[in-house]
Amino acid sequence: MKVNSVKLGVLILASSLSLGTGSCSKKGCTDPTAANYSDSAKKDDGSCEYDDAPVTPGVQTVTKAGAITSNETWTANNIYKLVGKVVVEDGVTLTIEAGTIIKGSQGTGTLASALIIAQGGKINAQGTAALPIIFTSELDNIQPGQLTGTNLDETDQGLWGGLIVLGRAPISAADGDVLSQIEGIPVEDAFGAFGGSDATDNSGVMSYISIRHGGALIGAGNEINGLTLGGVGSGTSISNIEIVSNLDDGIEFFGGTVNVSNIIVGFQGDDGIDIDMNYAGTVSNFLVINGTNSDESIEIDGPEGTTYTNGLYTLMNGTVSGNGDFKSKAQGTQNNVKLATAKIRASYQNNCADPKSDAFTYLTDVAPKLVFAGSEFTGVSVYTASTDDAGVNACTVPAADQTAAQAAMTSTTATGGSTTGWSWTWMSVNGHL
């Protein structure tokens, strides 16, 4: 957005002009840094226009690109600009001071910007409520010391990539694999690997971090999440995180065991909280506020392969404005969670006659793996994507299965997630809480 600004200072007229020739000086913008600078203007008329807000005096923009191969610290007196994939390598710790602003450059596909903490790398990013760490787009006119800029709103999505953390905790990937490659990173790039056998793996500390306006397109129908956690272990500490206006999911877990607390997601283009590959940690005290182009507030898948099939997630003390979609063998517990409709996926075999393992059977089994305890929802909807054995006709959910799901789920009055303690967030400052 262009901003009008009156050039400061006093214009000193040459004495020959002050004596007068009887003609008028040409007026216009005399600031060479302005978008509409006129080299023929002799007098500034206050019409200067700038593509971005003026940079705070003394603040430098430090460009970061490629691999970070030794420990380093990003400080709050600078703005850091990510160009392409910036990778914290194995054995390296990136420390980000409270109050630091990081801006991602524009670009899609291989040029999409992102900060990636590779397996064995660590991030030490500990903001505070007074000085949160902010990841945003280079188009954002926010400056150090500010909680928000003025030129972007909740509709501005996909302006850069996102933050990706990859660890060595267990995952359940397809084909029985214990390792996988995070989506959007080519397999030839070793820094995209995640998964392993160390449930207590430590990728560092993240607190009071706001991630804004991300989700750049990296392939057909494939965008970067605001925060991606792939195989992140329980030795990692993640709390007080905001993701706002991301084009894809707000936060997505690909397996792992990390516990995450105090999460707010708003105006995402896809799902708010997405769980895949049998994530087996706890997400506690969370809010999801859907926007006009959001999909589900919660989307959960269970194991994808034959490895690490026993892990169970927990969602605790959360409030979301939209639906929860429990599918693909979702297995875990919802405790004091408020949502709209709980969608439960069922799968069928033998020409649609018999159910097979899926979220529905996990919910209705004698010893259920999918549990709703003290949770509140507006309805229950069993659905299926199964077809008959010929793959021609879609199966229909039997009325008995809908009844069984409703019997297994009792909606109660839940308190959900806390709406206090978010004053440091973009959502709060911009009046969306």
pLDDT in tens, 41-50: 766 665 655 4
Within the chain, what is the greatest distance between any pair of CA atoms? 100
The pLDDT score that the predictor gives to residue 109 is 87
Comparing C-alpha atoms, which of 427, 353, 433 is closest to residue 387? Answer: 353
- The DSSP call for residue 364 is H
Judgement on whether residues 209 and 256 belong to the same structural domain of the protein: yes
Judgement on whether residues 199 and 149 belong to the same structural domain of the protein: yes
Band of residue 386 on the pLDDT scale cut at 50, 70, 90: very high
Judgement on whether residues 175 and 81 belong to the same structural domain of the protein: yes
The upper half-sphere exposure of residue 61, i.e. CA atoms within 13 Å in the direction of its Cβ, equals: 14
Which region among 180-194, 234-248, 354-368, 411-425 has the lowest average model confidence (pLDDT)? Answer: 180-194
Judgement on whether residues 208 and 311 belong to the same structural domain of the protein: yes
The pLDDT score that the predictor gives to residue 66 is 97
Which sign, positive or negative, has the C-alpha torsion 287, 81, 52, 223? negative
Query: Number of structural domains, the chain?
Result: 3
- The DSSP call for residue 53 is P
CA dist., res. 396 & res. 394, Å (int): 7
Judgement on whether residues 123 and 164 belong to the same structural domain of the protein: yes
The pLDDT score that the predictor gives to residue 47 is 63
Within 10 angstroms of residue 260's Cβ, the number of other Cβ atoms is 25
- The DSSP call for residue 229 is E
The pLDDT score that the predictor gives to residue 65 is 97
Which region among 57-71, 156-170, 336-350, 355-369 has the lowest average model confidence (pLDDT)? Answer: 57-71
Residue 7's domain comprises 1-51
Which region among 171-175, 183-187, 256-260 has the lowest average model confidence (pLDDT)? Answer: 183-187
Kindly tell me if the per-residue pLDDT of 14 is higher than 80: no
- Answer yes or no: are the C-beta atoms of 90 and 117 closer than 8 Å: no
CA dist., res. 268 & res. 271, Å (int): 7
- Of 32, 51, 70, the domain-final residue: 51
Which residues are CB-contacts of 199 (< 8 A; sequence separation ≥ 6)? 169, 170, 233, 234, 257
Global pTM reads 0.87
Structure tokens, 261: 């607390």
98: exposed, middle or buried (Cβ count in 10 Å: 0-12, 13-18, 19+): middle
Judgement on whether residues 391 and 330 belong to the same structural domain of the protein: no
Judgement on whether residues 266 and 381 belong to the same structural domain of the protein: no
8: exposed, middle or buried (Cβ count in 10 Å: 0-12, 13-18, 19+): exposed
Tell whether 196 is covered by a domain. Answer: yes
Tell whether 431 is covered by a domain. Answer: no
Band of residue 4 on the pLDDT scale cut at 50, 70, 90: very low
Structure tokens, 169: 């905790």
Tokens 């400052």 appear where?
429
Tell whether 433 is covered by a domain. Answer: no
Judgement on whether residues 392 and 278 belong to the same structural domain of the protein: no
Structure tokens, 134: 């902010």
Give the chain's length: 433
Q: Say which amino acid occupies 431.
A: G
- Answer yes or no: are the C-beta atoms of 236 and 230 closer than 8 Å: no
